[in-house]
Amino acid sequence: MNRFAELLDRLVLTPSRNGKLTLLTDYFRSVGDPDRGLALAAITGDLNIAAVKPAMLRTLVTERMDPVLFGYSYDYVGDLAETVSLVWPQTPGNIPNREPTLGEVVARLQAASRSDGPKVLSGLLDSAGISARFAIIKLVTGGLRIGVSARLAKQALADFGKVDVTEIEELWHGLSPPYTALFAWLEGKAEKPRNTAMALFRPVMLSNPVGDGDLEKLDPADYAAEWKWDGIRVQAVAEGGIRRLYSRTGDDVSGAFPDLADAMHFSATLDGELLVGDPRLATGTFSDLQQRLNRKTVTPKMQQQFPAFMRCYDVLQIGDEDLRALPFRERRCRLETFVGTLDPSRFDLSPFVDFADWQALEELRRAPPHPIIEGVMLKRWDSPYVAGRPKGPWFKWKRDPHTVDAVLMYAQRGHGKRSSFYSDYTFGVWSGGEGEEELVPVGKAYFGFTDEELKQIDKYVRDNTVERFGPVRSVRADRDNGLVLEVAFEGLNRSTRHKSGVAMRFPRISRLRWDKPANEADRIETLQALLDR
């Protein structure tokens, strides 16, 4: 249990991806079964502890200590799980010779019934030290919030076994905790587990951005072009009565889109873009789509207002026939016929974009016919469907980003290599009438600049600090003073969380405008106009 607790403690405070991967692979290497598999399940959200509820925690702890002292403690710490782990009274007689293992803890929690849940939980807390108590409580409350996605955990498994992450993704949904067969394979002690489960995820094919000079070397006749829809990539798999929608990285998102999943009356694996609206009438904007994202459950009203559909652009399997080795041209023919048999309010075909040469396509790319199109995709007619991101067969050619000139308002210190630099910037644009202009923050960016530029901005921040709040400094920014940043971004969403009413997608610093006076930075109306398009 202590190893797992220590892993959680380290992961939550380690900002760098490589650092997290090192911690995870070290853990997999040094901890045996079933503990490492259970830890993995806890991290990926695949561990289910039903009968023990977090609500009982507060009752349990105030039965054991003065409620006033508990109140002072909770006020100070601010996190219930952490407070309870720290204040839980340690009764010397209760501490066993060794702390329970993760496997024992999980077994006891999973075996608990609703009525003896509190007793089981308090018994476990009595037997553990502070870090282990915190980990036990986190297991019970679910949601570890340690900054490790399921995707990153799978990458760590791939690193650990020196295999490609797509192999893990393909296997994943057929496996269950504690993943003993998976670890045995990754350690070279057993064959790769065979997947017998239904409706599994197939690793997706990804594209490369069009770089400078790429197109000159390519023959337009070799490629098909499609619009690049700015929805979310999904894979729809239906097999043997099981229907699943997977994200690009193999996370099962079916629960968030029951309306689409219910319409999957087929036996096939389709690749496409999830969008909202009715494909026969109108495609919703990204703001509309956002209403459906990141939700665990979705109300009937939401489903009616923003119905989900899938714009299909590839087919990987029909019935028992694996089509991935076929050239794109043939897969596309099969797809066209197949989509014709599906519910037209839930499935349609991604249309081709006709073009004679790259110049003609360039013009179409710059002026797409719908706001949710963010560019064009190029696909070689003869390309098979391969997992990963091979260079050559598929390209994405995105619309140029939007830019806005904004004024630096706050700067925050970075992490790791950047911990001595002010490297996260909040910037704003002007609002208010003449003579009453004020800056309203519109976004935050922490990349896009060179190391040399970072040093310059850092010096500027230190020399122009107005106030300090912990790791954040507010920087002098008014009509006459301020650093203007050219910020590039992919799109703009309405936001009720931000005072400005807008939220940028993928903002980054594209240029430092040392030359530009602060009062010539853009106004909020410029951004609002983008929203209304």
- Structural Rg of the chain based on CA atoms: 27
Number of residues that bind another protein (CB under 8 A): 37
C-beta separation of 211 from 400 below 8 A: no
Interface residue with another protein among 151, 399, 415, 513 (CB under 8 A) is 415
Interface mask toward another protein for 464-493; x: CB under 8 A: ------xx----------------------
Interface residue with another protein among 3, 23, 151, 302 (CB under 8 A) is 23
13 binds another protein (CB under 8 A): yes
433 binds another protein (CB under 8 A): no
Interface mask toward another protein for 69-88; x: CB under 8 A: xx-xx--xxxx--xx--xx-
413 binds another protein (CB under 8 A): yes
Choices 190-198, 409-417, 491-499, 525-533; region in contact with another protein by CB under 8 A: 409-417
C-beta separation of 268 from 310 below 8 A: no
15 binds another protein (CB under 8 A): yes
Which residues make beta-bridge pairs with 412?
A: 424, 472
Q: Which residues contact 191 (CB under 8 A, 6 or more apart)?
A: 185
Q: Which residues contact 112 (CB under 8 A, 6 or more apart)?
A: 51, 52, 120, 121
Interface mask toward another protein for 92-131; x: CB under 8 A: --------------------------------------x-
Burial classification of residue 155, based on how many CB atoms lie within 10 Å of its CB (0-12 exposed, 13-18 middle, 19 or more buried): buried
> Token pair of 236, please?
């729809």
Classify each residue of 207-244 as buried b or exposed e, where b means 16 or more C-beta atoms within 10 Å of its C-beta: beebeeebbeeeeeeebbbbbbbbbbbbbbbbbeeebb
Helix (H, G, I), strand (E, B) or coil at 270: strand
Rounded distance, CA 244 to CA 199, Å?
7
66 binds another protein (CB under 8 A): yes
> How does DSSP classify residue 101?
P
- Peptide bond preceding 178 in cis form (omega within 30 of 0): yes
> Token pair of 149, please?
């996605």
Interface residue with another protein among 5, 7, 14, 203 (CB under 8 A) is 14
Quick one: 64 or 248, whose CB is closer to another protein? 64
C-beta separation of 512 from 449 below 8 A: yes
> Token pair of 317, please?
């399997």
Rounded distance, CA 184 to CA 267, Å?
32
Quick one: 389 or 455, whose CB is closer to another protein? 455
505 binds another protein (CB under 8 A): no
417 binds another protein (CB under 8 A): yes
> Token pair of 31, please?
């901890």
Quick one: 6 or 214, whose CB is closer to another protein? 6
416 binds another protein (CB under 8 A): yes
Quick one: 340 or 416, whose CB is closer to another protein? 416
Cα 61 → chain centroid = 35
68 binds another protein (CB under 8 A): yes
420 binds another protein (CB under 8 A): yes
26 binds another protein (CB under 8 A): yes
58 binds another protein (CB under 8 A): no
Choices 102-110, 358-366, 415-423, 485-493; region in contact with another protein by CB under 8 A: 415-423
Rounded distance, CA 33 to CA 179, Å?
8
Q: Which of 265, 255, 266, 361 is nearest to 308 (CA)?
A: 255
In the complex, least distance from residue 265 CB atom to another protein, rounded to whole angstroms: 48
19 binds another protein (CB under 8 A): yes
In the complex, least distance from residue 160 CB atom to another protein, rounded to whole angstroms: 15
Between helices 80-87 and 67-77, what is the axis angle to 10°? 130
Query: Tokens 């971004």, residue?
Result: 489
Quick one: 12 or 360, whose CB is closer to another protein? 12
In the complex, least distance from residue 149 CB atom to another protein, rounded to whole angstroms: 18
In the complex, least distance from residue 512 CB atom to another protein, rounded to whole angstroms: 20
Site residues for another protein per CB under 8 A? 6, 9-10, 12-15, 19, 22-23, 26, 65-66, 68-70, 72-73, 76-79, 82-83, 86-87, 130, 413-417, 419-421, 470-471
